[in-house]
Structure 1
Amino acid sequence: MKRLLIAAGGGGDAITAAMVHAALHGAEAPALVLTYAWERLVVDPVPGPRRAADFTGTERVGPDLALVTPATAPIPPAGSLIPRLAADLGPRLGLLDPYEGALGLARQIGAAARWCRADRIDIVDVGGDIVARGDEPTLRSPLGDALALAGCAATGLDTTVYVAGPGLDNEVPLPTLLPRLGEPAFALTAAHTGGVLGVFDWHPSEASALLVAAARGVRGVCGTRDAPRPLLLDESARHVHRLTLDRALALNPLARELAGSTGLDEAEAASRAVCGFSEIERERHRAAQPEAVRTPRTGRDAESVRSRFAAWERETLAGGIAYVTSRRITEELDLTSTEARGLFEALRAAAPVRQAPPLWQLRAAGL
């Protein structure tokens, strides 16, 4: 028998699901994590989620269940990091295809439960937008979580919802979120992060990176690329909250509206009605914008990169930020992968204490 987990929002939640599984059942216990292939436009330039037909090399174990393997590959122009996650995470990964709405997801989840011989489901969300009410001004991506919740409800299987790292996705403000979640069920520790730590050498998920850092004891103000304001990593950042399915549904009006939905267009319409927007429509709009004209540049030498980082570090420290993600450094300094790799190697060599995996500690002393 395999444990069955649902990564409510996609790749970052799949990483978190692996940690929650390790905490609940042990990292070596067999498990299947179902996840969307629905990623940032910088990874996948095609708006919206991908389905199994958008990949080669999936492992079909039934008409409603496609497993992802390290040999799976997206068909261009689509892109995806899910196959690489399949290579690096302990649990097996399977695709969630939302194009037939909540009822289509229910068929896929039911097929996965039969394949796993599981009689219950664990839904995992990092941050807490799975209990969003839809009117939060910072809410950005409620649809995938709400569809997963509605899909699990439609299976009739016993379902538990786990919210890890409350507020780390910066979608529902923490003072608003915590009363909805109640007391934490348990806390993640460094022992639960071993199977995922290396993923952040290449995966851009920031909420999951913050969760890993918090579980490993990092405390302080952290700046991410996605968040409009810095986040405080304190003891609550490593907590995991447990909710019943009924409680999560009661908190999430979009999930209730999606009950019985049979198509993604219908789900988008529900999101507009409840939340006032469709995140897929926003992706379409961004993808349609002409890219800013950029002057091609040659690679900068290592000394130039270190100099740019030193100036950026002084400015960022002055804003009260103590820790940053690799993604923030790479994107704000506009580094190529080679430049970023060289900078990170120089930081480790000059001052190993700078590294607070998977984050970086800023220091007034410079390199």
Structure 2
Amino acid sequence: MTRLIVAAGGGGDAVAAAMLDTALHGDDPALHGEKAERAGPAVILTYAWDRLLVDPVAGPRAPSDFTGLRELASGVLAVPATAAPVPPAGSTLPRLAAELPHTFVLIDASRGVEGVTAGIRDLVAHLAPESIDLLDVGGDILARGDEPTLQSPLADALTLAACSRIDAPVRLLVAGPGLDGEIPVDDLRPRLGERVLTFGPAQVAAADRVLEWHPSEAAAMLAATARGERGVCEVRGSGLQVPLSDGSPGVHEADLGAALHRNELARALLTSASLDEAERHSREICGYSEIDYERERSAAALRAESTAFELDRDAVLEGLDRFESAARARGVTHTSFRRITEVLGVPGSARLALRDLLIEARPEQYAAPLWRLRRPA
């Protein structure tokens, strides 16, 4: 019996999809009872869209950006562990496939919603899945499109529109409401339905090794809150502050039809036939295309990736002390390694080395997979 999970925005949503599948259907008797029926891992349909920290090329990757993809059926391409992105592009999907038991199938956004819909239909016809879930971490899939805090609506809008067009029931799930920092939890709460589950330590343990290296801040906060971390986490960009609350490790069902009716961008994309057309709608409705932002920064990202960089331990720790002091004054209790990378001016290629340095120097502050700020003396 096969299950299909569509990772609405790619990246961390794909990791969360694996966590969700383990929590709901894993073969650990501690999670489901001794007599629970055991099922194989789900198939996860996802973008290869890792943003500039991993992939210095703007936008989502198409099949032509990979070597070694595996054809499951006509129009259905899986990303196995042996696949590789064509330089200078980057992708976390081959490593995810190597470290998780799930099958990762590539969403091709190059033909807009028409293409995404065709891909889902082909996959459903091939798998005949017993269930289809559309999963979003954070909840920006429930946005209208004009919210000033919204940053990355395009991927979610494409998958929402496509899933609304297939002739099969799709359950829309939101994990970690508010953890993407795009829609405030108070605004999301009326749009959320029944809580399906609450992640706990045992249910996120399967992704522990992945979250040691994967750059998704939302998935990291989801796992950390499942382990009991609470407070305020400062994340990417301008220092966005995300509450880590008792509701953060929850997974809620939401009404897919209502989400489509609310999401003006998703409705506009319903008949889009190219990514360029989808971007035009995003600029008209949201006032921007997130891929334009990536294009503006991609040249700098490529230069940073090609420049040799060495970490100076003393300088790193001094810079961290200054950041922690200022962040504590802002009420921050946690941060991500991605945020530390930004504030210390460390290129993305050195992020894992920076993480290892900090954990070795101050292991008591590691709140896997986040960083806990030191309390003032």
- TM-score (structure 2 length as normaliser): 0.88
- Equivalences for 1:72-221 in 2 at 5 Å? 72-221=83-232
List alignment gaps of at least 5 residues for structure 1. none
CA drift of 1:311 comes to: 3.2
Q: What residue number does 2:359 align with?
A: 344
Q: What residue number does 1:16 align with?
A: 16
Q: % of aligned pairs identical?
A: 46
Counterpart CA distance in 2 for 1:289 and 1:345 is 30
CA drift of 1:218 comes to: 0.8
Instruction: Report the CA distance shift for 1:297/1:119 in structure 2 as closer, same or farther (over 3 A).
Output: closer
- Equivalences for 1:57-68 in 2 at 5 Å? 57-68=68-79
Equivalent AA in structure 1 for residue 265 of structure 2? L
On the 8 A contact 2:138/2:177 being kept in 1, the answer is yes
Q: What residue number does 1:45 align with?
A: 56
CA drift of 1:290 comes to: 9.5
Q: Deviations over 1:231-263 (max 9, x none)?
A: 211111111110232122122122122112221
Aligned with residue 331 of structure 2, among 299, 320, 323: 320
Equivalent AA in structure 2 for residue 343 of structure 1? L
**Secondary structure of 1:195's aligned partner:** helix
Deviates more, 1:281-290 or 1:148-157: 281-290
Equivalent AA in structure 1 for residue 247 of structure 2? S
Q: What residue number does 2:374 align with?
A: 363
Deviates more, 1:33-42 or 1:123-132: 33-42
Counterpart CA distance in 2 for 1:273 and 1:312 is 38
Counterpart CA distance in 1 for 2:355 and 2:2 is 39
**Secondary structure of 1:273's aligned partner:** helix
Q: Deviations over 1:295-319 (max 9, x none)?
A: x887354344333333332232222
On the 8 A contact 1:67/1:93 being kept in 2, the answer is yes
Aligned with residue 259 of structure 1, among 246, 270, 278: 270
Counterpart CA distance in 2 for 1:291 and 1:106 is 32
Aligned with residue 231 of structure 1, among 232, 239, 242: 242
Counterpart CA distance in 2 for 1:355 and 1:313 is 14
Say whether 1:330 aligns with 2:337.
Answer: no
**Secondary structure of 1:112's aligned partner:** helix
CA drift of 1:190 comes to: 1.4
Equivalent AA in structure 2 for residue 4 of structure 1? L
Q: What residue number does 2:33 align with?
A: none
CA drift of 1:82 comes to: 1.4
CA drift of 1:29 comes to: 3.2
On the 8 A contact 1:103/1:154 being kept in 2, the answer is no
Counterpart CA distance in 1 for 2:12 and 2:325 is 30
Runs of 4+ in structure 1 over 4 Å off: 288-293
Deviates more, 1:258-267 or 1:207-216: 258-267
Q: Deviations over 1:316-338 (max 9, x none)?
A: 22222111112222332234343
On the 8 A contact 1:258/1:267 being kept in 2, the answer is yes
CA drift of 1:200 comes to: 2.0
Counterpart CA distance in 2 for 1:46 and 1:118 is 34
Equivalent AA in structure 2 for residue 68 of structure 1? V
On the 8 A contact 1:221/1:320 being kept in 2, the answer is yes
CA drift of 1:104 comes to: 1.1
CA drift of 1:291 comes to: 8.4
On the 8 A contact 2:335/2:373 being kept in 1, the answer is yes
Equivalent AA in structure 1 for residue 69 of structure 2? T
Counterpart CA distance in 2 for 1:266 and 1:117 is 31
On the 8 A contact 2:73/2:123 being kept in 1, the answer is no
Aligned with residue 30 of structure 1, among 28, 36, 41: 41
**Secondary structure of 1:186's aligned partner:** strand
On the 8 A contact 1:65/1:94 being kept in 2, the answer is yes
Equivalent AA in structure 2 for residue 347 of structure 1? R
Equivalent AA in structure 2 for residue 170 of structure 1? G
Instruction: Report the CA distance shift for 1:300/1:247 in structure 2 as closer, same or farther (over 3 A).
Output: closer
Counterpart CA distance in 1 for 2:104 and 2:207 is 14
Aligned residues: 361
List alignment gaps of at least 5 residues for structure 2. 28-38
Equivalent AA in structure 2 for residue 212 of structure 1? A
**Secondary structure of 1:277's aligned partner:** coil
CA drift of 1:201 comes to: 1.6
Counterpart CA distance in 1 for 2:127 and 2:81 is 20
